[in-house]
Structure 1
């Protein structure tokens, strides 16, 4: 009989140190989908636009770990974090640091919606943008309560987006 082993963050970090493209969700280790050209370009474009629009108002991290719970450490495509940068010198970001989280999804769309979004809502991440490359839409998730987001908006490529916690910032997402 096989036994499933569930990891805690500390064990995961030791066991998978240096292993690229893995993340820990609810104690289970997932190999992330390979990054194709559309995904790569969308992440880099969003990174550029966020940094340009935010300046010193926030810290932007690309494909970096986020410590959610003792058994969950995903690697979102982009994190918009509270400044200053130095606050992350000796620790990983936690939900309290996150102003906005961005996932770019093509082949991972269903997984991001079904596995990651509930986890982010449960952790209290205030806002998640899911760049839906399949349908060329920005899915905006806000108001986390009870393990789900209570507000969901869909934006077309012509519409600009503004993070709730940075309302003075407006940017093109596509």
Structure 2
């Protein structure tokens, strides 16, 4: 007989501190696939653009944990957070801190799309999924219960302004 274990974020953090490429989602631990060069490039490029366009108006967290709920702690590729940076010195970001969340789905598209329900339930106002395989940007806005009311697809060369920064279009490709 197999035994299934469920974890809360405190237990997860204590038991798996320092172990890379793990996410806790609804009490279950997921091992993420290794990050490849296309993924690293896309994250670094977006980080550089976000830093340049938003400056001190936001905090950009790269591949950092987000305390989503008592049993979920994903590690999105990029989080655009409310400043100041110092508020995160003693705690992890939480849903009310997130202005925009970005996942780069090089090999994890299905997994990242499954996380959308958790992000919507937590009230994350906007999620972007960069899909380098199909060369598309999926924009999800306006969470309602466990889904987003708006889904938009953008093609290469089309920039998008986040809801929190409507006059700051960000090129994603």
Q: Please state which band the TM-score falls in when normalised by the shorter chain.
A: over 0.9
Q: In angstroms, what is the RMSD of aligned CA positions?
A: 0.6
How far does residue 169 in structure 1 lie from its aligned partner after superposition? 1.2
Aligned to 1:150: 149
Mapped to 2, the partners of 1:137 and 1:21 lie a distance apart of 24
Distance (whole Å) between structure 1 residues aligned to residue 27 and residue 61 of structure 2? 24
CA distance in 2, matches of 1:30, 1:60: 24
**Partners of 1:146 and 1:68 in 2: CA distance:** 15
How many residues of Structure 1 are paired with residues of Structure 2 in the alignment? 173
Residue in 2 aligned with 1:136?
Answer: 135
Matching residue of 2:171: 172
Aligned partner of residue 44 in structure 1, secondary structure: helix
TM-score between the two structures when normalised by the length of structure 2: 0.98
Q: Displacement of 1:170 after TM fit?
A: 1.1
Whole-Å separation in 2 of the counterparts to 1:50 and 1:33: 25
4+ residue runs over 2 A deviation: none
Q: Write the distance in 1 (CA, Å) between the matches of 2:137 and 2:110.
A: 15
Deviation of 1:59 after TM superposition, in Å, equals 0.3
**Structure 1 unpaired stretches of 5+:** none
TM-fit CA distance, 1:33: 1.2
Unaligned runs of 5+ in 2: none
Aligned to 1:40: 40
TM-score by length of 1: 0.98
Q: CA deviation at 1:48?
A: 0.3
1:27-54 alpha-carbon deviations (Å, 9 max, x no partner): 0011111100100000000000000000
Partner residue of 1:10? 10
CA distance in 2, matches of 1:95, 1:140: 18
Aligned to 1:57: 57
